[in-house]
Structure 1
Amino acid sequence: MFERGYKTWCEKYSADIRSKLGAPKDGPLDTRALAKLLGVRVWTPHDIPGLSAEALDVLLRNDGKSPSCWSAVTVVVQTKVVVVLNSSHSPARQASDLTHELAHRIRGHQAREVSLSEDGIMLLSSYDKLEEEEADWLSGCLLLPRDALILIRRNRMDDAEAALAYGVSAKMLSYRMAMTGVNRQFA
């Protein structure tokens, strides 16, 4: 799946970036500070100039049923990079979406194609499967590095309390605990 050493590289990158941000290696990450460090602006649909109230309503409709409900999109115009987050999602989801988009930038991934439909609707193509998996793993390491997971278990933090403290979803915490082997280590 990943190139040899990728997961180790992600943990090291997370530690290095936290050091640059002055954040503890086992504490929560300020995702917006990370974006700023990387030269990426973070917007919500409310920040998009000239967006009509009707378009805003459509973009922020979050009925939980629609498979087309969007999470985040990265827009690059010349040298400016903006990540637009769906502000109808929870802060934990937004943090995850932002770090995922930043992970694509960190890894140098390029979206395959952007085109317009006959109706004038912008169609965004995604990254390939490996690039999505790389961004998922790096995003998880940025939000919850192994040092943080060990601290959570060592301090016997309740999962709900830990998710809240780190600004992540319970699902993300559970996934990282399982995939890194920290749950087995503390079983």
Structure 2
Amino acid sequence: MRRGFKTEAKKLALELREELGADAHVPFDPYEFAESYGIDVIKLSTLGTDARLEFLKADGSALSGALIPVGTGQVILENDAQPAARRRTTLCHEIAHVVLEHSFGISLANERKCGLAGDQEAEADWLSGEMLIPYDGALRLARAGAPDVRVAQAFDVSLAVARWRMNGSGARTVAARMRAKWQP
């Protein structure tokens, strides 16, 4: 990931949220965002059996989502058999590729990885995390001592994503330092 990207992603995620009228303390709606950007989201269950099976056997594991170029735009294929929190995370990841204007053929994402690699993948992961749980929101909950379960509920994400953002963003470390600074 290029130097300074995490700082840029914080700002960009807040701008993207603002476009939807959402601040840093409420869940992000990737479906509304995709619609406002003209990105169609196609549920895997709406495809015919042959097409659905083709995507599911792409690498032998369950497909979470795919970003597919169509003309000058893109569509996102989502596995609607997965839990809603997982689908929201996958959509944010694929949307991050679009917002960051990453070049690709077809980006297939399963439960463990996306089809793109390197800096593009790291950037999409980080931006999608900021879209789902912005640093400001994570810091507020860290200062309140919120456990990961409460964070997951507050932002409508999985427990794993809540844990990743609360630890990876540094919000808990900053909150602990703030408490230590002001304690006698």
Structure 2 residue 125 is matched with structure 1 residue 132: no
TM-score, normalisation: structure 2: 0.81
Structure 2 residue 73 is matched with structure 1 residue 84: no
Structure 1 range deviating more: 127-136 or 39-48: 39-48
Cα-to-partner distance string for 1:133-160 (whole Å, 9 max, x where unaligned): 1110111011011011012223333321
Distance in 1 between residues matched to 2:172 and 2:144, nearest whole Å:
13
Structure 2 residue 151 is matched with structure 1 residue 151: no
Cα-to-partner distance string for 1:87-127 (whole Å, 9 max, x where unaligned): 1111111011001101111111122579xxxxxxxxxx922
Is the helix fraction higher in 1 or 2? 2
Structure 1 vs Structure 2 CA RMSD: 2.4
Cα-to-partner distance string for 1:30-59 (whole Å, 9 max, x where unaligned): 1111112222111111333xx13x654786
Distance in 1 between residues matched to 2:96 and 2:140, nearest whole Å:
24
Name structure 1 gaps, 5 residues minimum: 115-124
Q: Which amino acid aligns with 2:81?
A: S
Aligned partner of 2:181 in structure 1 is none
Name structure 2 gaps, 5 residues minimum: 108-113, 177-184
TM-score, normalisation: structure 1: 0.80
Q: Which amino acid aligns with 2:79?
A: N
Distance in 2 between residues matched to 1:98 and 1:58, nearest whole Å:
20
Aligned partner of 2:169 in structure 1 is 180
| Post-superposition offset of 1:186 | 2.5
Distance in 1 between residues matched to 2:106 and 2:66, nearest whole Å:
13
Structure 1 range deviating more: 159-168 or 11-20: 159-168
Count of aligned residue pairs for this structure pair: 169
